[in-house]
């Protein structure tokens, strides 16, 4: 392997062992930061010229040279390799090759420590906004399905046991609320990401008369880091992002699990289209819910990145340590995974799933999920709720022993349990009525759900 000049001083007499050079290098993954590194370096060069550390002509040459490297990279003409160790040295090397010794002035008044911290923040700032757009697309798909299914009933569950019937739209809008919190969390994290560490130096700042606020303004950061030690060693923002990313995929995984259950023959609440399903290599009748299964599986991957980042940081003394090179692959993969999961689930919901209203309607009519409404019926007539609750428990026990449902009881049988039952009990326990009367704010009543759909649509405008 050829050896290029090392990006450190001539204190060292020999080059790295080839295996150690490969082990030490990060160019294989931090190449993802190249355009952010170029953008940050251009701002740094402009600042150096502004304060007189370099001349205006030198500043212009550096900015133009860096832009040329950006275009070379985009056109596939600049492909850094292992000899460059990392993306920062790769850009600086190419810059010096391109414009001569002026390129060697670029690194004045900065360190790779504050340089990489800046690059990662610039990268994550952009990715957060992209994921927020992805979340809005997911929410739009949820709203579109909810709007079609306000009057569609679905069994509601607690402990995975039938509880009370719901509007299907209400069920879908629960995931809209989760996604809205995800969006809000990212928005809060964005502002803590958007703080400029450039100018912190290796750890202690710099004796050069730099203008950190000017650089931050050029890079559209909201604020400047107040402590140089913290500036180069802080990765709290990365941990926060991975926490938010974990919550996003956790929410997607919960929905995925429901889709997997709903699409099974035992439930048959939905059918999945051929465009988002696969078959079995041996069982010709199979249609497998691969998308939700993969999302459910990839959730563990993102959780792992969060745990890896926390473990990485927990024992590090101030300030920068080489361990922190390991932060990038966690971030990069989590971003890719979250975006892929959001896209896949949005496609599934928008194009790949068909709810079965008749099967859902039958499902809510074949259980005792209207039992609470019988207790509420008696309570509305003055019977203490706990007394009514116990009476309905006996009613259900009787029906179970006879293999019938509450709707199968005659009025005479109802009155044998309590004289306040009238003919209107049959309307009160009809599934659609059970849903309709739950019109408290945030409830599953049809009118409430219509208002929830309108409110959700307004949030996306």
- Catalytic residue at 280? yes
- Catalytic residue at 159? yes
Count, residues in the chain? 461
CA angle 295, 298, 302 (to 5 degrees): 125
Structure tokens that stand for 237 in this block: 């923002």
| Nearest Cα residue to 194 out of 217, 170, 172, 221 | 221
- Angle between helix 327-351 and 112-148 (nearest 10): 10
155 close to 165: Cβ distance less than 8 angstroms? yes
Torsion of CA 66, 67, 70, 76, to 10 degrees: -110
Q: How many whole angstroms separate alpha carbon 110 and alpha carbon 123?
A: 19
What lies within 8 Å, CB to CB, of 52 at 6+ separation is 209
Q: How many whole angstroms separate alpha carbon 392 and alpha carbon 388?
A: 6
114 close to 43: Cβ distance less than 8 angstroms? no
Residue-wise DSSP of 143-192: HHHHHHTSS-EEEEEETTEEEEEEEHHHHHHHHHHHHHHHHHHHHHHHHH
Cβ neighbours, 10 Å, residue 240: 19
- Angle between helix 56-74 and 87-99 (nearest 10): 120
What lies within 8 Å, CB to CB, of 401 at 6+ separation is none
55, 264, 273, 280: the active-site residue: 280
Q: How many whole angstroms separate alpha carbon 41 and alpha carbon 199?
A: 12
33 close to 117: Cβ distance less than 8 angstroms? no
- Alpha helical stretches, state H, 195-326: 212-218, 228-233, 236-262, 290-313
DSSP 8-state symbol, 278: B
2, 9, 159, 281: the active-site residue: 159
User: Which residues form the catalytic set?
Assistant: 159, 280
């Amino acid at each position: 392997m050829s050896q290029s000049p090392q990006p450190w001083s001539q204190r060292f007499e020999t080059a790295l062992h080839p295996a150690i050079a490969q082990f030490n290098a990060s160019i294989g993954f931090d190449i993802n930061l190249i355009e952010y590194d170029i953008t940050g370096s251009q701002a740094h060069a402009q600042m150096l010229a502004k304060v007189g550390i370099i001349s205006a002509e030198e500043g212009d040459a550096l900015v133009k040279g860096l832009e040329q490297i950006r275009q070379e990279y985009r056109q596939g003409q600049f492909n850094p390799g292992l000899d460059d160790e990392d993306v920062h040295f790769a850009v600086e090397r190419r810059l010096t090759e391109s414009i001569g010794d002026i390129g060697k002035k670029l690194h004045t008044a900065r360190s790779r420590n504050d340089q990489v911290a800046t690059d990662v923040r610039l990268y994550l700032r952009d990715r957060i906004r992209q994921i927020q757009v992805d979340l809005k697309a997911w929410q739009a798909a949820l709203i579109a399905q909810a709007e079609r299914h306000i009057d569609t009933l679905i069994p509601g569950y607690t402990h995975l046991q039938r509880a009370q019937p719901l509007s299907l739209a209400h069920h879908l809008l629960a995931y809209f609320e989760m996604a809205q919190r995800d969006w809000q969390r990212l928005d809060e994290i964005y502002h803590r990401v958007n703080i400029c560490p450039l100018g912190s130096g290796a750890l202690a700042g710099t004796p050069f008369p730099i203008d950190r606020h000017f650089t931050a303004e050029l890079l559209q950061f909201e604020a400047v880091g107040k402590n140089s030690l913290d500036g180069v060693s802080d990765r709290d923002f990365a941990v926060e992002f991975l926490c938010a990313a974990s919550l996003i995929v956790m929410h997607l995984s919960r929905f995925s699990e429901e889709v997997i259950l709903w699409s099974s023959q035992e439930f048959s609440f939905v059918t999945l289209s051929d465009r988002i399903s696969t078959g079995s290599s041996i069982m010709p009748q199979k249609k497998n819910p691969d998308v939700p299964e993969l999302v459910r599986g990839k959730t563990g991957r993102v959780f792992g990145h969060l745990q890896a980042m926390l473990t990485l940081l927990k024992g590090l003394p101030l300030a920068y340590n080489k361990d922190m090179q390991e932060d990038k692959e966690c971030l990069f993969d989590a971003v890719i995974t979250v975006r892929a999961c959001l896209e896949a689930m949005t496609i599934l919901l928008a194009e790949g799933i068909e709810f079965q209203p008749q099967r859902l309607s039958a499902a809510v009519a074949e259980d005792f999920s209207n039992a609470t409404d019988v207790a509420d019926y008696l309570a509305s007539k003055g019977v203490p709720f706990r007394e009514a609750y116990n009476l309905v428990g006996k009613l259900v026990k009787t029906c179970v022993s006879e293999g019938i449902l509450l709707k199968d009881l005659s009025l005479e049988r109802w009155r044998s349990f309590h004289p306040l039952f009238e003919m209107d009990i049959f309307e009160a326990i009809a599934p659609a009525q059970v849903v309709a009367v739950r019109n408290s704010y945030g409830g599953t009543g049809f009118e409430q759900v219509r208002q929830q759909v309108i409110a959700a649509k307004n949030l996306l405008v």
